[in-house]
Amino acid sequence: MGHHHAPPGLGEPEFFAHTHSSGVPVGPPEAQRLHLAGLVLPGGERADLWVVDGLVRTEPVADAVTVCSDAWIMPGLVDAHCHVGLGAQGAVSSEVALAQATADRDAGTLLIRDAGSPVDTHWIDDRPDLPRIIRAGRHIARPKRYIRNYAEEVEPEALVEEVARQAVRGDGWVKLVGDWIDRDRGDLAPLWPDDVAAAAIARAHELGARVTAHCFGEESVYGLVRAGIDGIEHGTGLDDSTIALMAERRVALVPTLVNLENFPAFADAGEAKFPGYAAHMRALHARRFATIAAAVEAGVGVFAGTDAGGTIDHGLIGTEIGLLARIGGAEFALGAASWRARQWLGAPPLADGSWTDLVVYDADPRRDVVATRHPLLVILRGRVVLSR
């Protein structure tokens, strides 16, 4: 992509480098020395791993407790489009945000790219039992051109300034709303002139941040990719030329297939007032798998994201993996939700001395990705946080 800004903390394996507001280092509530035996993905080799002081070790550790002896072990899952702190009406309480993050964690999601939230969730960084979060600040949209209470709403002449503000608020990402229904047109339309978008993206890059955008239709994604954007969310309007440019420029795609299943309902809701929009959404839905498959075939980096938050439940990463497997097969889908996504976001690979963020299954997810919906163990920062 040309801009590989790692958010604070992602360059450091020691999660306890974070501190509470009191200045006291955050550490594990209790030291856990663990032993895991099984097949380690993606390679599939049989191995023994030990956990000590929150880190992976490949040499035996004394007094370690064996927590699995014949299992499939993967780097923790990634939800690369997730909204912790966002509900159907906008901002949610800290209690609801906690429940959202916990639901994702219990599904095996241990790294989240939060693609826009109206609340500050940095307090989660002080919780060693909750997923690591990379934030994109708050959505940026135009007035009355997005869902109420979700976004900072500005006119195009203020976009560059707002992008700079959200770049500071986030952890190396900024989230634009690229298109939404235009009531005068009666259909999807871009929110930002191409030259304004290009200036805003350039400003984010100057500040060390990457930019991604919500794009349902054809026009917005065409313009934003050519304006230098780093990521596309949804991407149902992609054509071959834009896909080729994304592959060349290493622009990432997070299709959020869980959310795309809702397009027929969106069309039904808009049918009476906006029949053109309804027909367009149904057409985008009908070709969604072919569109995303074309991006995969062209070599675009495609990653798993559920679009949880708003009206979509948290904890659906296994469902997203299943939908991705329909496009590219099991190993592609698993990589999109684990090792490839972690590498893209700057997390260390599973190796001696790395983070112990692991998800463990009692069946081979390469043979049937449904296994990812039912983790045997979830180990976060070296602690077992879920066991069934």
pLDDT one-digit tens code per residue, 123-182 = 999 999 999 999 999 999 999 999 999 999 999 999 999 999 999 999 999 999 999 999
pLDDT value of residue 31: 64
Measured CA to CA, the distance from residue 314 to residue 308 in angstroms comes to: 5
Residue 315, Ramachandran bin (φ over 0: left; ψ between -120 and 50: alpha; else beta): left
- Find, among 150, 309, 24, 308, the residue nearest to 318 by Cα: 308
Measured CA to CA, the distance from residue 188 to residue 196 in angstroms comes to: 19
Instruction: Give CA angle at 113 (299, 99), nearest 5°.
Output: 140
Q: What is the pLDDT of residues 63-93, one digit of tens each?
A: 999 999 999 999 999 999 999 999 999 999 9
CB atoms within 10 A of CB 107: 25
Residues of the chain with pLDDT under 50: 1-29
Q: Which residues of 241-280 are buried (b: 16+ CB within 10 A; e: fewer)?
A: ebbbebbeeebbbbbbbbbbebbeebbeebeeebeebbeb
Measured CA to CA, the distance from residue 345 to residue 137 in angstroms comes to: 16
Task: Quickly count helices (H) and strands (E) in the chain.
Answer: 12, 20
pLDDT value of residue 303: 99
β pairing state of 77-87 and 90-91: antiparallel
Give the domain ranges of the chain.
Answer: 15-74+348-387, 77-344
Measured CA to CA, the distance from residue 337 to residue 355 in angstroms comes to: 17
Could you say which DSSP state residue 178 is in?
-
Using CA of residue 324, residue 326, residue 327, residue 332, what is the dihedral sign? Answer: positive
Measured CA to CA, the distance from residue 114 to residue 112 in angstroms comes to: 6
Q: Tell me the pTM.
A: 0.93
Chain-centroid distance of CA 357 in Å reads 16
Report the topology of domain 15-74+348-387: Urease, subunit C; domain 1 (2.30.40)
CATH C-level class of 77-344: alpha beta
β pairing state of 231-234 and 210-215: parallel
> 223 with 206: CB under 8 angstroms?
no
Alpha helix ranges (H) inside the chain = 94-106, 159-169, 194-206, 218-226, 240-249, 257-260, 263-270, 275-286, 288-298, 317-328, 330-336, 339-344
% of the chain surpassing 70 pLDDT: 92
- Domain 15-74+348-387 and domain 77-344, same fold? Reply is no
Assign 355 to helix, strand or coil.
Answer: strand
CB atoms within 10 A of CB 94: 13
